[in-house]
């Protein structure tokens, strides 16, 4: 038995954990009775990969093949996105979609159907998966793709590990000329400006905004819009970069050695942080060339930053509301958050593009993500926010969730019922795939 | 291109070591008992580094077959890293004859026979490097794992002798004592983080150690001192301790 938790350090549970190197070993684990769930790299925030018995996938992490003519990579599900970047960026290839941390597994990327700053042009990770093999609860392996066993494919992408253990996946990498991003930052004085900013940035491959959730009144929603394109060799000005356009210096790694005491995080310190961050960007537009790590993964440079929230842990509230409800909806919800004064260091705003999918989170609309230290006050705020999000036709991201109830899930995920039935059918006999989350939100019993 | 031969290549340590050597531009020859498990490992290394990887079945306990097995390799290695080992739960099996024999056969006899064959070849060629994974458990017999520990003690003594014999022949021999390691054997245990090395740390230390011709390496420096202290405890005190 070992103590285990996901990224928010809430909840922390005792579980029996086992990894595997071969499908045979995995099969033997699935022959034991009881509930299990796959655990990738524990970068979901809540309890999506937690259960009394957890199957670690990190050791199942081999690259199986790569086709240089098409960029098709086939790898086992425990490979980290960071390992893919380490190997392939120097050869001129990049991930089709990446979330704000590269320390997640391919299995976790598919199970949560993660999105990145390019969602409005390239969709989510699952849309780039060409094929995958999945082990079901009876130990059989099923191959699926958008056309072969498509139903199974569709409930696995965004299915949070409930249909089986993803063994391997094939997806296409994108060609890049350099390891750098041409970035433009634009300061926006309030919510109106930032939303205009997004709508005018639709031609950019990458866009995202950092938003100051503590600013109120006219300044509510003040933010910094960051948009980017993969730099070409001609975009590079620095001679060192020019000489070796596909290698970046290994970043400095800061670590947070222990959990921060609670008093460090208070409304004042957060306000100060947000103020400094906003004001370090001068008004107007700024262009610079940055390496891909600083553009996509600023937080990965600080190892274990989750510890700043202390022992009580934290959660991220990430919701999306449809574009139609967009401006008014965002204003109302954001106002409720800023009024609460509970907001966080990090609030990220993004405009998603269209997405049709069975269980995945994204839909055309605005998504906002904020961290909250766990507290009674925050929990009751979330309840209020849930009602607002549901009213506007939006929903919460399962990969970040550790607290929503079954009713909220049922109301906001249109295929909840069908999904529950499909999972029940798959789970018949022997081991069941279920997480603490799936029990809480009523997908599994 | 230099070639490294890794024996017991399916272990976590061995896999990390293989990655390190591949990244450094070496070609690889991987041997393991379950040779089919080497396939994904080999394809992984090829995709990562484009290097040549050859796999073959290696049975540590087929002592008399070791010569033939080594001679059949298409490329003679420049360095050999022997990572195979076997540890069972001693408290359960301390009177199990088969298990005791298995422990000694794999950790000691198998190491001694295959490395002797390789040493002979290296000696004739007048160059080459040999590293083998021994254990801090061999530094002093303790009630909790003296069967495994004694086999590793034998291995450490064997490596010391081999090093002594081959030093003037231009062949280098290195003994590796990892201490706690974060591997599949320990993934369900809480290990003291400060004393636990990752396979990657071990790989880095083994590679650098051989480059620098180190003799005996402990992966984390604390272990050298911990084991020194443990070795210094007088026997009349030690025998009363629960270790
Ligand atoms: C700093 C930070 C930034 C983030 N930014 C973003 C972002 O921008 N966009 C975004 O979409 N997400 C983001 N996330 C969330 C993260 O991408 C997802 O939670 C992702 O699923 C984590 O993957 P993991 O490998 O750590 O899996 P885990 O967290 O361990 O597991 C996540 C889910 O995947 C399932 N799973 C894992 N492996 C397998 C497998 N082999 N087979 C079947 N199921 C499996 C688990 O059962 C669980 O349901 C961020 C997280 C952090 C910590």
What are all long-range contacts of B65-72, with beta carbons under 8 Å and residues at least 24 apart?
B66/B110, B66/B113, B66/B114, B66/B117, B67/B117, B69/B31, B69/B114, B70/B114, B70/B117, B70/B118, B70/B121
Choose among A3, A19, A64: nearest Cβ to B40.
Answer: A64
* 8 Å CB contact of A18 and B190: no
pLDDT digits (tens, 9 = 90+) for A41-52: 999 999 999 999
Atom 2 of ligand 1: nearest residue by CA position: A101
- The predicted pLDDT at position A309 comes to 80
Q: B185 CB near a chain A CB, below 8 Å?
A: no
pLDDT band of residue A271 (cuts 50, 70, 90) is: low
Average pLDDT, chain A: 92
Atom 51 of ligand 1: nearest residue by CA position: A43
First to last CA, chain B: 46
Hey, which of A42, A49, A120, A162 would you mutate to test ligand 1's pocket, going by the most ligand atoms within 8 Å of its Cβ?
A: A49
| Tally of CB atoms within 10 A around A197 | 20
Choose among A16, A62, A87: nearest Cβ to B188.
Answer: A16
Atom 18 of ligand 1: nearest residue by CA position: A44
* 8 Å CB contact of A59 and B44: no
Asked if residue A350 has pLDDT above 90, the reply is: yes
- The predicted pLDDT at position A305 comes to 81
Mean pLDDT of the B8-23 span = 96
Asked if residue B195 has pLDDT above 90, the reply is: no
pLDDT digits (tens, 9 = 90+) for B115-135: 999 999 999 999 999 999 999
B188 vs A230, more confident: A230
In sequence order, the 6+-apart residues with CB closer than 8 A to the CB of A234 are: none
Q: How far is the CA of A6 from the centre of ligand 1 (A)?
A: 9
DSSP label of B106: I
* Dihedral, CA of residue A141, residue A168, residue A115 and residue A288, to nearest 10: -170
DSSP label of B185: G
- The predicted pLDDT at position A100 comes to 95
Rounded CA separation A262/A249 (Å): 35
Rounded CA separation A374/A377 (Å): 8
* 8 Å CB contact of A2 and B40: no
pLDDT band of residue A25 (cuts 50, 70, 90) is: very high
Q: What percent of chain A has pLDDT over 70?
A: 93
Interface test mutation site (partner A, options B8, B36, B48, max chain A beta carbons within 10 A): B48
SS3 call for A241:
helix
- The predicted pLDDT at position A268 comes to 63
- For residue A333 the two structure tokens come to 């919800």
Min distance A147 CA to chain B CA atoms (Å) = 27
- The predicted pLDDT at position A79 comes to 98
* 8 Å CB contact of A87 and B47: yes
Rounded CA separation A24/B36 (Å): 12
* 8 Å CB contact of A21 and B43: no
SS3 call for A90:
helix
* 8 Å CB contact of B188 and A2: yes
B11 vs A430, more confident: B11
Question: Which residues face A289 on adjacent strands?
Answer: A182
pLDDT band of residue A261 (cuts 50, 70, 90) is: low
Mean pLDDT of the A164-181 span = 98
Look up the pTM and report it: 0.91
Min distance A19 CA to chain B CA atoms (Å) = 7
Q: B41 CB near a chain A CB, below 8 Å?
A: yes
Query: What is the DSSP annotation of A119-156?
Result: HHHH--GGGGEEEEEEE-TTS-EEEE-SSSSHHHHHHH
pLDDT band of residue A307 (cuts 50, 70, 90) is: confident
- The predicted pLDDT at position A265 comes to 59
pLDDT band of residue B221 (cuts 50, 70, 90) is: confident
DSSP label of A179: S
pLDDT band of residue A251 (cuts 50, 70, 90) is: low
pLDDT digits (tens, 9 = 90+) for A122-133: 999 999 999 999
Choose among A3, A17, A64: nearest Cβ to B187.
Answer: A17
Residue A201: which of A184, A218, A213, A214 has the closest Cα?
A184
| Chain B residues closer than 8 Å to A1 by CB | 188
- The predicted pLDDT at position A141 comes to 98
pLDDT band of residue A417 (cuts 50, 70, 90) is: very high
Distances (CA, A) of B53 to A118, B9, B39, B66: 38, 12, 10, 21
A326 vs A180, more confident: A180
- For residue A233 the two structure tokens come to 């060799």
Mean pLDDT of the A207-236 span = 93
Rounded CA separation A135/A426 (Å): 11
Q: How far is the CA of A124 from the centre of ligand 1 (A)?
A: 13
Mean pLDDT of the A238-244 span = 91
Min distance B239 CA to chain A CA atoms (Å) = 31
A310 vs B63, more confident: B63
Rounded CA separation B136/B1 (Å): 34
| Chain B residues closer than 8 Å to A21 by CB | 10, 37, 184
- Pick the atom of ligand 1 nearest to A78's CA: 41
Instruction: Among B102-106, B135-139, B183-187, name the one with the lowest average pLDDT.
Output: B183-187
Hey, which of A26, A62, A96, A112 would you mutate to test ligand 1's pocket, going by the most ligand atoms within 8 Å of its Cβ?
A: A112
A157 lines ligand 1 (CB under 6 A): no
* 8 Å CB contact of A59 and B10: no
- The predicted pLDDT at position B90 comes to 77
Choose among B37, B44, B187: nearest Cβ to A63.
Answer: B44
* 8 Å CB contact of A2 and B189: yes
Q: How far is the CA of A250 from the centre of ligand 1 (A)?
A: 24
A20 lines ligand 1 (CB under 6 A): no
The top-scoring range by mean pLDDT among A62-76, A240-254, B188-202 is A62-76
Hey, which of A8, A26, A44, A45 would you mutate to test ligand 1's pocket, going by the most ligand atoms within 8 Å of its Cβ?
A: A44
- The predicted pLDDT at position B132 comes to 98
Mean pLDDT of the A346-368 span = 94
- The predicted pLDDT at position A260 comes to 61
Mean pLDDT of the A243-249 span = 91
A76, closest residue in chain B (CA to CA): B40
Rounded CA separation B4/B6 (Å): 6
pLDDT digits (tens, 9 = 90+) for A135-169: 999 999 999 999 999 999 999 999 999 999 999 99
Asked if residue A397 has pLDDT above 60, the reply is: yes
A112 lines ligand 1 (CB under 6 A): yes
Choose among B10, B47, B187: nearest Cβ to A66.
Answer: B47
pLDDT band of residue A71 (cuts 50, 70, 90) is: very high
- Pick the atom of ligand 1 nearest to A37's CA: 47
Rounded CA separation B165/B173 (Å): 10
Min distance B106 CA to chain A CA atoms (Å) = 22
Q: B188 CB near a chain A CB, below 8 Å?
A: yes
B75 vs A251, more confident: B75
* 8 Å CB contact of A21 and B184: yes
Atom 14 of ligand 1: nearest residue by CA position: A99
φ and ψ of B42, to 5 deg: -70, -40
Residue where the block lists tokens 């960007």: A281
C-alpha radius of gyration, chain B, whole number: 18
Mean pLDDT of the B172-185 span = 88
Min distance A18 CA to chain B CA atoms (Å) = 7
Angle at A251 between CA A247 and CA A254, to 5 degrees: 170
- The predicted pLDDT at position A382 comes to 97
Interface test mutation site (partner B, options A4, A21, A58, max chain B beta carbons within 10 A): A21
Asked if residue A267 has pLDDT above 70, the reply is: no
* 8 Å CB contact of B48 and A19: no
Choose among A21, A56, A63: nearest Cβ to B43.
Answer: A63
């Amino acid at each position: 038995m070992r103590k285990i938790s996901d990224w928010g350090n809430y909840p922390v549970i005792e579980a029996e954990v086992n990894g595997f190197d071969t499908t045979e070993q995995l099969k033997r684990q699935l022959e034991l009775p009881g509930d299990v769930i796959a655990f990738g790299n524990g970068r979901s925030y809540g309890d999506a990969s937690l259960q009394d018995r957890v199957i670690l996938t990190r050791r199942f992490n081999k690259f199986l093949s790569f086709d240089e003519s098409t960029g098709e990579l086939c790898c086992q599900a425990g490979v980290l996105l960071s390992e893919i970047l380490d190997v392939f960026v120097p050869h001129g290839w990049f991930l089709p979609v990446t979330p704000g941390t590269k320390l997640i597994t391919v299995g976790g990327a598919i199970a949560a159907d993660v999105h990145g700053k390019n969602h409005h042009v390239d969709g989510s990770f699952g849309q780039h998966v060409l094929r995958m093999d999945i082990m079901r609860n009876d130990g059989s392996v099923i191959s699926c793709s958008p056309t072969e066993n498509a139903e199974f494919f569709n409930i696995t992408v965004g299915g949070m590990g409930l249909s089986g253990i993803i063994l391997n996946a094939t997806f296409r990498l994108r060609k890049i000329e350099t390891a750098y991003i041409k970035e433009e930052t634009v300061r926006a004085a309030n919510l109106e400006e930032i939303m205009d900013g997004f709508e005018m940035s639709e031609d950019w491959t990458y866009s995202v905004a950092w938003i100051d959730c503590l600013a109120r009144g006219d300044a509510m929603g003040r933010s910094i819009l960051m948009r980017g394109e993969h730099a070409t060799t001609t975009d590079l000005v620095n001679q060192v970069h020019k000489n070796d356009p596909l290698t970046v210096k290994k970043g400095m790694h800061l670590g947070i050695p222990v959990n921060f005491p609670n008093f460090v995080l208070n409304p004042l310190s957060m306000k100060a942080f947000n103020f400094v961050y906003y004001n370090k960007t001068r008004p107007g537009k700024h262009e610079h060339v940055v390496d891909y790590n600083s553009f996509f993964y600023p937080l990965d440079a600080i190892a274990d930053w989750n510890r700043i929230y202390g022992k009580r842990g934290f959660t991220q509230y990430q919701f999306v509301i449809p574009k139609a409800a967009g401006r008014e909806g965002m204003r109302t919800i954001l106002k409720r958050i800023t009024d609460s004064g509970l907001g966080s260091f990090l609030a990220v705003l993004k405009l998603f593009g269209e997405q049709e999918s069975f269980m995945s989170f994204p839909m055309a609309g605005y998504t906002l993500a904020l961290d909250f230290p766990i507290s009674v006050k925050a929990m009751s705020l979330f309840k209020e926010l849930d009602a607002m999000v549901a009213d506007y036709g939006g929903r919460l991201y399962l990969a970040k969730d550790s607290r929503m109830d079954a009713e909220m899930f049922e109301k906001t995920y249109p295929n909840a019922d069908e999904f529950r039935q499909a999972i029940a059918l798959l789970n018949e006999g022997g081991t069941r795939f279920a997480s603490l989350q799936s029990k809480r939100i009523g997908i599994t019993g | 291109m230099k070639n490294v031969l890794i024996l017991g290549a399916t272990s976590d340590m061995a896999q990390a070591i293989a990655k390190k050597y591949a990244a450094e531009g070496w070609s690889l020859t991987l041997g393991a008992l379950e040779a089919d498990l080497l396939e994904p490992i080999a394809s992984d290394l090829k995709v990562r580094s484009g290097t040549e990887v050859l796999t073959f079945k290696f049975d540590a306990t087929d002592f008399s077959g070791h010569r033939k097995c080594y001679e059949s390799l298409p490329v003679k290695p420049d360095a050999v890293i022997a990572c195979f080992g076997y540890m069972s739960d001693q408290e359960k099996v301390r009177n199990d004859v088969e298990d005791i024999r298995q422990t000694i056969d794999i950790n000691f006899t198998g190491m001694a026979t295959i490395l002797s064959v390789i040493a002979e070849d290296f000696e004739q060629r007048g160059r080459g490097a040999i590293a083998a994974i021994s254990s801090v458990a061999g530094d002093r017999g303790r009630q909790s794992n003296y069967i495994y520990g004694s086999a590793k003690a034998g291995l450490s003594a064997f490596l010391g002798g081999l090093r002594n014999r081959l030093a003037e022949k231009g062949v280098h021999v290195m003994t590796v004592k990892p201490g706690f390691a974060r591997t599949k054997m320990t993934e369900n245990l809480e290990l003291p983080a400060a004393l636990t090395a990752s396979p990657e740390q071990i790989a880095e230390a083994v590679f650098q150690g051989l480059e620098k011709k180190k003799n005996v390496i402990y992966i984390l420096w604390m272990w050298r001192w911990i084991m020194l202290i443990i070795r210094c405890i007088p026997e009349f005190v030690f025998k009363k301790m629960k270790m």
